Structure 1
Amino acid sequence: MLLFLGFDGVMHPARGERTLFEHRAALEALLREHTHVEVVITSSWREVFDTDSLREDYFSRDLQPRIIDVTPLIPGAMRWQEVQAYLDETRYGGPYIVVDDDATEFPAGWAPLLLCDSAVGLDAGKCAELAARMMQRPQGI
């Protein structure tokens, strides 16, 4: 299973008083429980930092091997189109979840999207939703 992950508005509130990556521990706990999930970063931070820096600077050492890639940067594309381009390029056909805070970047009602409140991020309620989705593993895994 792939988890497409935004940072601002997910890992921490998008604006105002915040602690960067304040929800990292909660996300990492989920990833440790769900070892079949790998992460692809969709955050705009990928425009500034390379994949290795994102992996090594913002995730715990034991989880770094599971931060596998970033979505392509496609000028003028919406976030869902970059996710789809990644899926097409890698020929990945399995289950995936997209965690983001900007509904305007996705089609209305798009099933893979777990939408966070940008003022809060990946709080306990959203972590519970994410855990439930991670448990929906295809047969044979």
Structure 2
Amino acid sequence: MLYSSPGKGAVSAVQILFLDFDGVMHPEFCHESKHFVHQDNFETVMRAAPHVDLVISSTWRHKRSLDELKALFTADVRARIVGATPLYAQLDEVPDTLQGYEREAECRAWLRQHGRAAQEWLAVDDRSWNFRPFNPNVFLVDGEVGLDADSAAKLAARIHGAVA
């Protein structure tokens, strides 16, 4: 899918979104009573982007099954979760260029494993050091805040091909 971005011409829209939880869906290190405080913001963005598949990249996948992770979302968004990234320690091969960038290596491994490496993707995360510097496929969120309304608006623009 292509969208026009003012002054930028046609750019590809995101087709796959990798989602972190801590620092995105809620502030990092918050009390569990505050977990998923930004769920409404995230799900509103996703409802406006029905072409986007979701993949869980959060460390929550270490201790919970995919079904348990999906259950955290409303039915319409849950239906668009197509998987979770493999764990870095279990990757058979990590290219030299991705050594030390664990989350990016996991995202790219998932894309390769599912035949989607050529598709436009975006990782929503709060930790820049998990990705190569200046990676255009990363949407960084302030981990102390999470995906507040302002960040959600910027994410929506980025998903549709606008530079946010």
Q: Which TM-score applies when normalising by structure 2?
A: 0.78
> Which stretches in structure 1 are left out of the alignment for 5+ residues?
none
1:86 is aligned to 110
Contact 2:88–2:103 (CA<8 Å) still a contact in 1? no
Contact 2:19–2:56 (CA<8 Å) still a contact in 1? yes
CA distance in 2: counterparts of 1:55 and 1:135, whole angstroms: 24
> Is 2:135 the partner of 1:110?
yes
> Which stretches in structure 2 are left out of the alignment for 5+ residues?
1-14, 90-99
2:79 corresponds to which of 51, 54, 65: 65
Which structure has the larger Rg over C-alpha atoms?
A: 2
* 1:65-118 per-position Cα deviation (integer Å, ceiling 9, x unaligned): 101100001218610000111111111021111000111111110101001111
CA distance in 1: counterparts of 2:134 and 2:23, whole angstroms: 19
- Aligned-pair RMSD on alpha carbons? 1.6
SS at match of 2:156: helix
SS at match of 1:68: strand
1:7 is aligned to 21
Percent same amino acid among aligned pairs?
A: 38
Which stretch shows the higher mean deviation, 2-11 or 70-79? Answer: 70-79
> Is 2:45 the partner of 1:25?
no
CA distance in 1: counterparts of 2:123 and 2:88, whole angstroms: 17
* 1:5-49 per-position Cα deviation (integer Å, ceiling 9, x unaligned): 000000000114561001101111111111101110000000000
Q: Which TM-score applies when normalising by structure 1?
A: 0.90
State the number of aligned residues: 136
